[in-house]
Amino acid sequence: MSLTFDESVSVAPNALEVYDRFGTRVDSGIITGAGTATIATTITDASDRGTYTVAWRVTSADSHVIHGAFVFSVGTTTATRAAESSATSPSIIPHAFAITRIASLAALLVCLGAIAILLMPECRGRSHASVMALAHGSALLLAVTSMAGIVLQAAEMVGGGVRAGLTHSALGAVAHTRFGELWALRAACAFAIVVASSGLRTNAGRQRRALLLTSAVTIGLATPLAGHSGLRWTTAFADTVHLLAASVWVGGLAATAVAFISDAGDETRRRLPRRFSKLAGTSVVALGISGAVDAYLEIGTVDALLQSTYGRLVDAKTLLLVPVLMLGLLNRRSLRSRTGRDRRFLQLALPELGLLAVVIALSGVLVGTSHRQPSGERDRAAPSNTLPIGPFEATVTIDSAGEHQPRIAVALMEHGTPARADDVQIAASLDNPRLGPLRFRTTRSGQGRFTAVRARLPIPGSWHITVVIRRGDFDQWEGTTTFDIPAGAR
């Protein structure tokens, strides 16, 4: 039994499982092809005629965990339960991972920006000590969140909770992925910054400063490669420039504000913000250019920019940056004046940092969101068919644009209004090759609306979608419609 993907994938020990119609596992448990586009296992006992269920769970090249299932039959088709992965991560794991990504990104930006300010000759005395403490604390948070991210990624890979992510096999699986290697490198560099910043003073030695700078640059280079950017060098370059420019702007602004508050000396309050303002202007230009290039490379079309989840997050992030840029321009104009109004720097910097915190949160969500849509879905809406089923008019929609949670939705109308139904069941089958029925559980998503998530149709072809509607204890209606699912739109 082999599965072929359109890119190389990483696997955990339970990445491919085969069950017979009685729910007994019949594969060898040994998976070959890890790190390639084709993974395989051996079926040890396929002598029984009937339907077999294949459940798979892999990590894509951009570090996202995807999973699904399908069935095949030997001889006659027999009833089977919904084909679904036997290992499913608790719902708290994706949310915990999202929070960890946001905290990690915020710590990274502040850490790298603080180091940039520390290396400025204008940062000295009390301001130097305060910025050093900021770099130290943010580096420590970056190290902790990086290690936590590795554990959570391991938990997602094996489809378990935090305890499952801490097992030797799970950590070993994630350690052999690009994500695991680069996040471990990032954690090590963050710890190096913690050590270097612990004893850093204005007159610190060159070796300590070199360690600080080298670790910061390594973090800036490694982070983009762990996600979407690692797939193409052009995207990796654009993302690296984007991240470093954002670090100088966001982290540098936070560090300058800390220095401004901690040191009442006229020299620091006058010279450091003005020096940072010049550096921030260059960073904003680099940030805008690299962001535009990155959006073009990763999204590709205007429709995807407006309709995909990833594109909408980019839109929201861009809109939020408009007031941030306006505040920055006001601050820059104030600092360039010679009227001694340097105190306005802090008045404008604090709301700017508040808005940037929201942008960071959106960026953290972006990192964990797949930017790709299945081919064939980019230029068309989700297909839907409407058919009469008993007293109802049922509209069935197959939405496979969500790469990780494809769904089948059923909307019921009766006499022109949303209908009342107690339960809806969905089954999918394919004639050539003979597959199914795949049975998907639905949940109520509104009046007369039912949705089956993770409803993945594993191969292209003419799929027969059967909808069973129940009302009360005795009334049941059934109808079938056919969808032509092209290759790549599953």
Least confident of 268-282, 312-326, 369-383, 424-438: 369-383
Reported as a single tens digit per residue, the pLDDT across 214-253 is 999 999 888 888 875 555 678 788 888 988 988 998 898 8
Strands 417-418 and 407-414: antiparallel
Bridge partners of residue 412, in order along the sequence? 394
Provide the mean pLDDT of the chain: 79
Closest CA to 410 of 349, 309, 479, 334: 479
Q: Averaged over 306-320, what is the pLDDT?
A: 75
Pick the CATH number of 384-485 from 2.60.40.1930, 3.40.50.1820, 2.40.110.10, 2.60.120.10: 2.60.40.1930
Could you tell me the pLDDT band of residue 82, with boundaries at 50, 70 and 90? Answer: very low
How would DSSP label each residue in 36-97?
SSEEE--BS---S-EEEEEEEEEE-TTS-EEEEEEEEEESS---------S----THHHHHH
Euclidean distance between CA atoms 82 and 58, whole angstroms:
19
Euclidean distance between CA atoms 401 and 405, whole angstroms:
9
Q: Are 176 and 10 in contact (CB under 8 A)?
A: yes
Query: What's the pLDDT at 424?
Result: 93
Query: What's the pLDDT at 100?
Result: 92
Euclidean distance between CA atoms 120 and 411, whole angstroms:
62
pLDDT at 327 over 50: yes
Euclidean distance between CA atoms 383 and 85, whole angstroms:
26
CATH topology of domain 2-74: Immunoglobulin-like (2.60.40)
Residue 433, preceding peptide bond in cis (omega within 30° of 0): yes
Could you tell me the pLDDT band of residue 47, with boundaries at 50, 70 and 90? Answer: low
CB atoms within 10 A of CB 302: 9
Reported as a single tens digit per residue, the pLDDT across 289-304 is 888 887 777 666 666 6
Residue 93 to residues 31, 154, 199, 223, 317: CA-CA distances in angstroms? 25, 10, 37, 21, 25
Closest CA to 246 of 76, 117, 409, 108: 108
For the entire predicted model, the pTM comes to 0.66
Q: Mapping DSSP to helix (H, G, I), strand (E, B) and coil, where does residue 320 land?
A: helix
Q: Averaged over 111-115, what is the pLDDT?
A: 92
Q: Are 325 and 270 in contact (CB under 8 A)?
A: no
Euclidean distance between CA atoms 101 and 93, whole angstroms:
12
Number of alpha helices (DSSP H) and beta strands (DSSP E) in the chain: 12, 15
